[in-house]
Amino acid sequence: MFYRQALFLFNLSLNIIVVASECFAQECWVYQKIKTNFTVYGIYCSDSLTRTAAVGSGIPSSNGMILRTNDGGETWGTLYTGSTYPKDVMFSNTDNGVAVGFEDDAVSYSHGVILHTTNGGISWSKQIFPYTVNAVSLSTSDVGVAVGSGGLILWTTNGGNTWTEQQSNTIITLYDVYCISPQSAVAVGEVGRILRTTDAGATWTNVWNNTGDYFTGVWFTDVSNGRVVGSASLPGGGYNPEDNGWWGNMDKAKHASILLE
């Protein structure tokens, strides 16, 4: 069983990646260490041995990295190091890959970045966007979607070479997205937002209305069956950027994990 995302623990100078091999769920999780001071934000498993990790840092003047292992995590090499702090990475095939994140500068403080490679990570081109890009998902070698802060949704039909911004009708932060098919995708984020498109992003519809929920992950096993993960505030409380106000009482909110299927 392969996983698009893994769990991560950060401990001073060592990042610890918790990975699962081909077996049942929690029965075979093992720790793997990467010697870096940065935080591992995302990982993509191409097969049982090949994994690509997005490693970022919020430390000024430091570099982000994209790392890869071809031996199941025993050794890791560097595909990218530079001013971009990657938060997610995905490859549609051996050569074509996309990494998303942000970078800081003295003028605008921070802006979103999408890195694109067509040669397996040997070189990367960079595109700039107004908000941090948090996640990316590719359904084919051509079609994919990326999401980020400020309700940012970007769609590509050429493997990530260019991206078109779409109307999400929200300004909340979107944390994850899954591109189910060239026409369908689901994005999740703050204040219980689950957005769904079935027309290649021409329209996005909110299909969940509990503002006490906070979603950070989504994935599908086929076109019909998916899961959304995150946390729930009970009885609820937090800040809703869409109406510039607080709902509930955050100090008294009780938090619980949530899994929607």
- What's the rounded Cα separation, in Å, for the pair 225 and 186? 12
Give all strands (DSSP E) within 36-173, no chain letters: 39-45, 51-56, 64-69, 77-82, 85-91, 97-105, 109-117, 125-129, 133-138, 144-148, 153-156, 164-165
User: pLDDT for 195-252, tens place per residue?
Assistant: 999 999 999 999 887 777 888 999 888 888 888 888 875 444 444 445 544 444 333 3
pTM score: 0.80
Q: Using one digit for the tens of pLDDT, what is the confidence trace for 64-105?
A: 889 898 988 888 888 998 888 899 999 999 999 999 999 876
* Tokens, residue 245: 């106000």
What are the residues whose beta carbons fall under 8 Å from the beta carbon of 95, sequence distance 6 or more?
Answer: 117, 118, 119, 120
- Kindly give the pairing relationship between strand 194-197 and strand 77-82: unpaired
Phi-psi region of 87 (alpha: psi -120 to 50; beta: other; left: phi over 0): alpha
What's the sign of the alpha-carbon dihedral 154, 157, 158, 164?
negative
CATH class of 40-220: mainly beta
| Residue range 96-138, pLDDT digits in tens | 999 999 987 655 557 899 999 999 999 999 999 999 999 999 9
